[in-house]
Amino acid sequence: MSEKLQKVLARAGHGSRREMEAWIAAGRVSIDGEIAKLGDRIEADAKVRIDGRAVSIKSEDDLVCRVIAYHKPEGEICSRKDPEGRPTVFDRLPKTRDSRWVAVGRLDINTSGLLLFTSDGELANRLMHPSHEVEREYAVRTFGEVTDACIQRLRTGVTLEDGPAHFDKVKPAGGEGMNKWWHVSLAEGRNREVRRLWESQEVQVSRLIRIRYGMIDLPKSLPRGGWVELPIEQVNYLRKLAGLEEETRTLLGTDKHSVARSKVKSAKIRRAVRKHKTTAGKTPRQRS
């Protein structure tokens, strides 16, 4: 059956449906040698090009939904290429055939921790949509005086430049003097929201690490710069959150414990991490 062009391109990871519609309207996409138009539908054997470059397309039946968890180090940006030559989160990801990895959200250059990637652009787009409020948890090291009144304001809500915001949970996690660790969670993904919430209380954030996305934790044994492919149970947890049908196929084995263990210790991770100098120091969560 034919499908809308923008849906097929989004599923293949080239961007959101809205972005694909804009590309089509701008004349950047062709089908079988003809400039595509909004509303065009294509068959599985169509020859599609973006900016003159041939791109692969797959039907939903052909696509195996894969998800990997990446331990982003500080200093990497969430773009495929950077004009300034800075390292990106895509540099160390495994190669894929006939698809590409799509990041589920972003972390700014000074934030480290859990970042999910998927081969299914539709899954990524749905999880990033504001209607899907997926809880994220962060370990935060602050510098400055944090009073009980300050914590109460962060829980009940403060007004930022782009509207009201608050943490769903704020829990102390150790530290001494003016340097304290906290675990905070929220279900929004606004730009630099965690940092801006603390800064609204005149408290500086010196380290910020995402440690959980929904029910998926940052694996404690996963080194910075390393990745691990998630088992089908966790893939389907994310698909359920996004309102998508379950995936029935996986490129991993059926024993999720042995899979996770072997992937974390794989040569690919060792080679990736060898290229990266890890910074010193661990969070309270990593020491536990």
Rg of the chain in Å (alpha carbons): 21
Residue 40 bears catalytic tag: no
DSSP state of 265: T
List strand residue ranges (DSSP E) for 13-97, in order: 29-31, 34-35, 41-42, 48-50, 53-55, 67-72
Label residue 56 exposed, middle or buried (CB < 10 Å: 0-12, 13-18, 19+).
exposed
| Catalytic residue chosen out of the listed positions 32, 82, 98, 108 | 108
Distance CA 127, CA 103 (A): 10
Cα separations in angstroms, 162 against 111, 129, 206: 21, 17, 23
3-state secondary structure of 133: coil
Cα separations in angstroms, 258 against 126, 252, 255, 263: 30, 10, 6, 8
Task: Write out the catalytic residue numbers.
Answer: 108
